[in-house]
């Protein structure tokens, strides 16, 4: 099936949307933590530390009226370009991480925060917003509780009630048995997955194909129906 190229952003409050026009430029800045020191017998040397957080910069345009633009590439379009800008600004102000996914031949995905967001109009063109969005890789550093068991014999507790079934969400590992589609509306049917170990990367509730699945290591596969997936 023909690949759909798009950039999907999921905000801090789990709102997922696709940029209306595939951006003209996406650049990834990958940097190592390198410090310079001087050794008497060698002179200056580099000491290479751990990798720093990746930064991805996306530059493009958002039409003021996206649904009327002949340049649109997204499968689902909002009516007002300011809605995209306001949503990104609210995400940035939340100081919380979200997620981004790039589909197509060059898949990219990960948890990110909004580091910088610039937008405006150029050359007197009032029909388009030009923007530059820099998103920064997020690493979870929250403290984890460690339970310490007392060194004594305790009476057995009654058997616990079985836990309710887990719900499928973004990041869930699932087994897929069903056909892949280009978008959540069910267009562009393609290959069929059979007992495939996959990961949920996007959810579009209310759509006929509500789950976007990817390889466990991050490579996008496509959209599938709810009946095609089960938790691993």
Residue 3 reports pLDDT greater than 80: no
Residues 117 and 225 in one domain: no
- pLDDT at residue 64 in the model: 95
Query: In CATH, what number is assigned to the domain containing residue 89?
Result: 2.40.30
- pLDDT at residue 218 in the model: 80
The DSSP output letter for 53 is P
* Pairing relationship of beta strands 55-63 and 25-29 according to DSSP bridges: antiparallel
Residues 14 and 89 in one domain: yes
Residues 117 and 221 in one domain: no
> Containing domain of residue 220, as a range?
173-231
Residues 51 and 131 in one domain: yes
pLDDT digits (tens, 9 = 90+) for 85-137: 999 999 999 999 999 999 877 778 899 999 999 999 988 888 999 999 999 99
How far apart are alpha carbons 33 and 41 in whole angstroms?
24
Alpha carbon dihedral 44, 45, 49, 51, in 10-degree steps, equals 90
Residues 213 and 116 in one domain: no
* 177: its two tokens: 């048995």
- pLDDT at residue 75 in the model: 86
**Is residue 161 one of the residues assigned to a domain?**
no
In degrees and rounded to multiples of 5, residue 199 shows phi and psi of -130, 140
Residues 184 and 113 in one domain: no
- pLDDT at residue 176 in the model: 95
pLDDT digits (tens, 9 = 90+) for 178-210: 999 999 999 988 899 999 999 999 999 989 999
Residue 5 reports pLDDT greater than 80: yes
3-state secondary structure of 8: strand
- For the chain, how many residues are written? 232
Residues 113 and 203 in one domain: no
**Is residue 74 one of the residues assigned to a domain?**
yes
How far apart are alpha carbons 203 and 176 in whole angstroms?
15
Residues 96 and 197 in one domain: no
pLDDT digits (tens, 9 = 90+) for 38-68: 888 888 877 888 888 889 999 999 999 999 9
**Is residue 190 one of the residues assigned to a domain?**
yes
> By C-alpha distance, which of 134, 136, 212, 209 is closest to 169?
212
- pLDDT at residue 144 in the model: 78
Residues 113 and 27 in one domain: yes
- pLDDT at residue 1 in the model: 55
The DSSP output letter for 87 is H
Residues 217 and 103 in one domain: no
Residues 29 and 106 in one domain: yes
- pLDDT at residue 10 in the model: 96
């Amino acid at each position: 099936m023909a690949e759909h190229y798009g950039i999907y952003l999921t905000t801090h409050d789990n709102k997922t949307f696709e940029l209306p026009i595939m951006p003209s430029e996406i650049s990834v800045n990958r940097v190592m933590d390198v410090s310079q020191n001087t050794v008497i017998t060698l002179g200056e040397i580099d000491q290479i530390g751990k990798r720093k957080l990746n930064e991805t910069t996306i530059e493009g345009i958002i039409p003021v009226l996206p649904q009327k633009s002949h340049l649109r590439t997204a499968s689902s379009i909002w009516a007002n370009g300011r809605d995209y800008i306001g949503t990104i600004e609210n995400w940035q102000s939340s100081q919380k991480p979200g997620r981004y996914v790039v589909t197509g031949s060059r898949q990219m995905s990960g948890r990110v925060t909004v580091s910088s967001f610039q937008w405006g109009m150029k050359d007197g063109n009032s029909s388009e917003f030009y923007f530059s969005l820099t998103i920064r890789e997020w690493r979870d550093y929250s403290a984890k509780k460690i339970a310490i068991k007392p060194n004594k014999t305790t009476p057995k507790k009654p058997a616990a009630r079985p836990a309710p079934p887990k719900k499928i969400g973004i990041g869930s590992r699932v087994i897929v048995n069903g056909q892949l589609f280009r978008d959540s509306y069910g267009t562009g049917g393609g290959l069929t997955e059979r007992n495939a170990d996959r990961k949920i990367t996007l959810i579009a509730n209310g759509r006929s194909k509500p789950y976007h699945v990817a390889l466990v290591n991050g490579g996008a596969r496509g959209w599938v129906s709810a009946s095609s997936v089960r938790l691993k």
